[in-house]
Structure 1
């Protein structure tokens, strides 16, 4: 269904979304603005009752139904924010709603839909993915006469989301550039069709996750095309094909499209938290991720830039992943692999070559008598340029290394799998250590430890806590055990022997050596 641009203005101005939605605040991000040298503003759609902008479109579409259509009920397929928005809207309008969700949907999301919808929402679990759920929802609509409430590709839904543009023009009339996340395109289409007619000089940048860039693919093809696959991290924008009507509007009114990586999204979640103490969902942080990237690419200064925190429905356990990856997204950390000689003192010598930089991670396991392979995390003060200079220096010192900062498999899996069992290693003993965490603390720990005993295993990860935690293995020859323990006691660090720990025995101990 296509309507004129003038009709969209009318629909947006008359949309009754404020029966359920709030006029969300616009926050000035002080810390990020100071860092980037621009005025950064964030539209807080996490303030909606369902923590997402999706309420606007769902309620507006529901409100446009005739009495006869509403009496028959509605149906939708969604595993996320649209489901919650529709459930909430159905309860407020006293309209029965059937919401089809994949069987794999986490219980927390299913329970939220039931909570928001109460007696008016019936959840049907069907299939193992969104496409299967969508097909089943269409079948139910045909069979029972339900009105389908699509998540993005309908003029009423688009107009509902467009009310955000109406508010923004009142709240930030001097805005230079607006960054908008794109999944199916309803948010970008609704805001763009309104703002561009009233303030055509405002630049609109659509933002997609690198692994779910359906708008970019459509623009290249000249029409909506289905992606072979979509990423799962930013699930709120994980859409395989953009809508026909949303694509038409985005193609006409969006000035530029850019993509952001998973690491950049994680960095943006941290940026938003630092300024607002709100935890955005990955899709909700896309616009801020793009602002940071765009400013760096175009060397912008003194501009008024806006983004939309479009949702804050995040699984709490996702935060572990976000915390691990955010500094890579900010270019404040690099991870790399390096080979060093397998001899006493080589480990400390390599750390000394790092020039006092903060070490965030060391993963090492003895492999053979010639060389050691280490996974290293390093804090950066000046981003990629600093790491490039360090890499050149290490190469001149004879170290062989390669950058893993953009290697997804390495960051997601390999960093936790470095090592295994050595081929042959006698007389190994394992100890855990705690030491006060401060810049240079790990280097001081290694210097204090000394070079008398060969280190056979080493793991350290800086988590920003007050204490640094290290797990280390040592090759301790018979007859030197007493000297070694006496040495540890003199170091002044808290330590505990872990040689008999069943996890060490099962995964890491030499099956032919000491166990």
Structure 2
């Protein structure tokens, strides 16, 4: 059974394993609330996962240690297990989905673990790992559905309350539910009035679906940039704990996640992966009422694949109204582009790119389409520009910007 004593014990054991992550106050993310970040993206291996795996491995018997440990992971748990196993001198084998970010695969190997890439998503790697466990006798370190792993993650909740006992709301990313289970249990045992809000990507909301139906649900597929929480089915232990101790589970969109990643980079020079940024996205876009509250967002990890970072930033810019793409019907005669450009200059926007499309789709044979990308200040600025363009006699056919 999970108890506060076990979580306290985990906190003592992990002092020599983890890196202290003090809360960071932010005034930029949502001015309606007092928000603090718990930057577990600055943790050893760049993720909170080392807490749960570190405590679990520390509690193995000598006999279990002699056989080594086995895990399945999309990346962060893999690195946590690999690091903990190396510190305890234990052999580690990690089964990872073939589509896991290369950076996470290589980081796991660099920590001394053997990596086996399994076709499919996390759940496929998990099934393969269980098969290996039966064949080898190694100890399987579950990424979330294990009470000792959950206890390790729960140390985050104790740290938050120790630093800010006046906290009102905690946003926690949820994939399988290990982090949310541990933090929610620890916090509710110590201060029941704190609201615990779990956050999932809209494309991988298995815990939300399970709680709503009061039974564990398995999603047919998961699709999200937040690969660290792309889990089809929550665990047995985590489902019960989240059902009992998490007040509400909300979801955020892909664009909202990208906007949160961008905000963390721009305002706090913090790099977060998609899974780590969902808590921030929930606070930024008011997924739960926080006006006048003291709020903590757990930034659970920072191991984002740099090859997709530019795409994430571009989507984040568009979601926050910092860039805008317009398709404009333009009279196909000399001076039309100059006239449109004058309107853009008047309203202080910057033209990033222009593309003429003479494809005959316009009903006016004397017109062409102009696809234009602008650098703007915010959504209100975009609306001002649109009004100015319309007032000048140009027709806007389509606009892609913040919803």
TM-score (norm: length of structure 2): 0.89
Q: Which residue in 1 is equivalent to 2:25?
A: 28
| Farther-moved stretch of structure 1 (11-20 vs 265-274) | 265-274
Instruction: Find the aligned partners of 2:246 and 2:327 in 1 and give their Cα distance.
Output: 41
Q: Which residue in 1 is equivalent to 2:158?
A: 166
> Could you tell me which of 337, 347, 356 is aligned with 1:356?
347
* Cα RMSD, aligned residues only: 2.5
Instruction: Find the aligned partners of 1:165 and 1:345 in 2 and give their Cα distance.
Output: 63
Q: Work out whether residues 93 and 115 of structure 2, in 8 Å CA contact, stay in contact via their aligned partners in 1.
A: yes
Instruction: Find the aligned partners of 2:115 and 2:265 in 1 and give their Cα distance.
Output: 33
Q: Which residue in 2 is equivalent to 1:98?
A: 93
Describe the shift of the 1:338–1:212 C-alpha distance in structure 2 as closer, same or farther (beyond 3 A).
Answer: farther
Instruction: Find the aligned partners of 1:269 and 1:288 in 2 and give their Cα distance.
Output: 8
Q: Does 1:281 align with 2:273?
A: yes
TM-score (norm: length of structure 1): 0.70
The DSSP-based 3-state class of the residue aligned with 1:36 is coil
| Farther-moved stretch of structure 1 (44-53 vs 76-85) | 44-53
Q: Which residue in 1 is equivalent to 2:46?
A: 51
Instruction: Find the aligned partners of 1:36 and 1:379 in 2 and give their Cα distance.
Output: 24
Q: Work out whether residues 172 and 180 of structure 2, in 8 Å CA contact, stay in contact via their aligned partners in 1.
A: yes
Residue 104 of structure 1 and its aligned partner are, at CA, apart by 4.0
Instruction: Find the aligned partners of 1:262 and 1:361 in 2 and give their Cα distance.
Output: 24
Q: Radius of gyration: which is bigger?
A: 1
Instruction: Find the aligned partners of 1:322 and 1:105 in 2 and give their Cα distance.
Output: 17
| Farther-moved stretch of structure 1 (57-66 vs 97-106) | 97-106
Instruction: List gaps (5 residues or longer) in structure 2.
Output: none
Describe the shift of the 1:301–1:106 C-alpha distance in structure 2 as closer, same or farther (beyond 3 A).
Answer: closer
Instruction: Find the aligned partners of 1:331 and 1:217 in 2 and give their Cα distance.
Output: 31
> Could you tell me which of 13, 17, 20 is aligned with 2:14?
17
Q: Superposition pairs for residues 439-478 of structure 1, below 5 Å?
A: none
Q: Superposition pairs for residues 251-290 of structure 1, below 5 Å?
A: 251-290=243-282
Q: Work out whether residues 201 and 224 of structure 2, in 8 Å CA contact, stay in contact via their aligned partners in 1.
A: no
Residue 27 of structure 1 and its aligned partner are, at CA, apart by 1.2
Describe the shift of the 1:129–1:303 C-alpha distance in structure 2 as closer, same or farther (beyond 3 A).
Answer: closer
Residue 140 of structure 1 and its aligned partner are, at CA, apart by 0.8
Instruction: Find the aligned partners of 1:167 and 1:14 in 2 and give their Cα distance.
Output: 13
Instruction: Find the aligned partners of 2:220 and 2:350 in 1 and give their Cα distance.
Output: 39
Describe the shift of the 1:360–1:327 C-alpha distance in structure 2 as closer, same or farther (beyond 3 A).
Answer: farther
Instruction: Find the aligned partners of 1:242 and 1:394 in 2 and give their Cα distance.
Output: 50
Instruction: List gaps (5 residues or longer) in structure 1.
Output: 408-515
Q: Work out whether residues 23 and 167 of structure 1, in 8 Å CA contact, stay in contact via their aligned partners in 2.
A: no
Q: Deviations over 1:168-197 (max 9, x none)?
A: 110111112111111111111110011012
Q: Deviations over 1:199-225 (max 9, x none)?
A: 111112111122222222222332222
Q: Does 1:8 align with 2:10?
A: no
Q: Superposition pairs for residues 71-86 of structure 1, below 5 Å?
A: 71-86=66-81
Q: Which residue in 1 is equivalent to 2:401?
A: 405
Q: Which residue in 2 is equivalent to 1:304?
A: 294
Describe the shift of the 1:359–1:223 C-alpha distance in structure 2 as closer, same or farther (beyond 3 A).
Answer: farther
State the aligned residue count.
394
Instruction: Find the aligned partners of 1:156 and 1:315 in 2 and give their Cα distance.
Output: 29
| Farther-moved stretch of structure 1 (189-198 vs 364-373) | 364-373
Instruction: Find the aligned partners of 2:195 and 2:94 in 1 and give their Cα distance.
Output: 37
Segments of 4+ in structure 1 off by > 6 A? none
Q: Work out whether residues 160 and 190 of structure 1, in 8 Å CA contact, stay in contact via their aligned partners in 2.
A: yes
Describe the shift of the 1:401–1:155 C-alpha distance in structure 2 as closer, same or farther (beyond 3 A).
Answer: same
Describe the shift of the 1:336–1:251 C-alpha distance in structure 2 as closer, same or farther (beyond 3 A).
Answer: farther
Instruction: Find the aligned partners of 1:107 and 1:380 in 2 and give their Cα distance.
Output: 34
Q: Which residue in 2 is equivalent to 1:63?
A: 58
Q: Deviations over 1:358-410 (max 9, x none)?
A: 14544422414532223333455452x56456656756746142333379xxx
Q: Does 1:153 align with 2:150?
A: no
Instruction: Find the aligned partners of 2:396 and 2:310 in 1 and give their Cα distance.
Output: 31
Q: Does 1:318 align with 2:308?
A: yes
Q: Which residue in 2 is equivalent to 1:415?
A: none
Q: Superposition pairs for residues 120-131 of structure 1, below 5 Å?
A: 121-131=113-123
> Could you tell me which of 222, 228, 245 is aligned with 1:236?
228
Describe the shift of the 1:11–1:379 C-alpha distance in structure 2 as closer, same or farther (beyond 3 A).
Answer: same
Structure with higher RCO (Cα < 8 A, 6+ apart): 2
Q: Work out whether residues 362 and 374 of structure 1, in 8 Å CA contact, stay in contact via their aligned partners in 2.
A: no
